Every structure is written in structure tokens, then in C-alpha cells.
Amino acid sequence: MEEKLSNDRIKELKAFCKSRNLHFKDLKLLDLAFHHCSFSNENRSEKYFNNERLEFLGDSVLGLAAADFLYKDMSSNHAEGDLAKIKATVVSEKSLAPIALKFGIDRLLILGHGEELSGGRHKPAILADCMEAVIGAYYMDSGFAACEKYILDFLVPEIRKVQKFGGKDYKTLLQELYQKKAKTCPIYELVSKTGPDHDQVFSVSVKLGNVSYGPARGKSKKEAEQKAAEMAYNEINGM
């Protein structure tokens, strides 16, 4: 059976809502969105107390919000395939997982002991699924209009990136930009690696000739490299 929320958990959930401008009437529903199935699998008394159903619902709500925006935003000169490619990119695990980390969803996850030890708190699939579960919970709590507003707040910037850069990541963009000026490639350097094995933080800088950018931090070396590339790309372009 689900337990009553502790005062500390209520504070955590309220802080999350405040940071994302969410207005939940039922905090227990939001709390459910953070419960991964590994928790319910290890706690038989709460066998069905996990976010899988909310994730299922949130996936559809997210897709509808993205499709509706793209249909209205892009002119009739764009074929269905153009809209579909952008939608597939922005609602993907690759897109949602970094946003989840930015929102601090990793800190709110309720995981089973085994999943916790295996680094599940920073696994892209778990993070992206939780993003969808939160969407599903907010849809159930406050309806589509409020949920759509929340979604578009983080989704439109991702859509704009794809529209502008064609879905290329920042490492690719930086390499293409730099190779127009030099024959060498950007060099990524691991500055530091801290934290326990299941919760490591990587710091990476990128060097273009004699100029170094960063360091940038990430939960994986790959994430840190992408952030360092983004820093360099934006600085070079005056963004």
C-alpha cells in the first residue's frame, strides 16, 4: 500500500513544482511519477506502485503537444516527414534525459536498492521515462492546457535547435565549424572525475588550437564533452 508522504518528501516535491512553475493539486500523484518499477519489484506490498502507467500516458500527451506545435509552427511547405523527424528527435530519450538532469529529476527518483547501486539514477532511459511520467501525472492532475504549457516551455527550445541545426549535436557542430578554419579537430581533455562509482561527475574541457573552453561538467564523459562543445560553439558564435 502507498504510504503517507513525509514532510521532507512534501518539501522536495513542492520545491520541484516551484522550480518548474507546476501547480499540482495532488502531490501523491506527482510522487508516484518518481517511483521506478525497481522499487515496486523489491517491495511486494507496493507491487503496482510505480510510474509505468503514468509514463504510458505521458508519452502520448508529450507526442500530442509536440505534434500540435509543429503543425501550427511550420508552414504547409513542410511535408509530414519533416515534422515527423523533428518530433521524433525532440521526444526521444536522447533529448529528454539531459532535460531531466537539468530539472533535478535524478535527485527525486525512488529506485530499488539494486537499481540504485547500478547507477540507475543517471541512466538516460530511466530519466526520460520519468519525464514522461511527470507529464502523465500533471495531465491527470490539471488537464491538457496546463500540461501543454509545461511541455512547450522545455520542448520549444529543443525544436528550435533541430530546426536550426538539423538535429546535429554540439560536438558535430563544433567540429564542422572549426574545420572550416583549421585542418585539425577539437581535442577533448578529461580535467577531473569525482564521486563514487554510481554517482560520478566528469569535468571536460575542449581545446581548439591554443584556446581552451570549459571545463564543463556532466554525469558521463560523453555528456561533459557535449556541454564543453556547446560552450565553445556558443562563445565562438557570440551566442
| Kind plus residue range of the DSSP H or E element containing 213 | strand 211-218
d(CA 152, CA 207): 35
Helix (H, G, I), strand (E, B) or coil at 168: coil
Which of 132, 148, 158, 223 is catalytic? The answer is: 132
Which of 59, 129, 158, 223 is catalytic? The answer is: 59
Q: What is the largest CA-CA distance in the chain?
A: 63
Task: Specify whether 93 is catalytic.
Answer: no
d(CA 217, CA 214): 9
Q: What cell numbers appear for 99 in the block?
A: 532535460
| Kind plus residue range of the DSSP H or E element containing 152 | helix 144-165
Please list the residues that pair with 40 across neighbouring strands: none
Task: Specify whether 132 is catalytic.
Answer: yes
Residue numbers annotated as active site: 59, 132
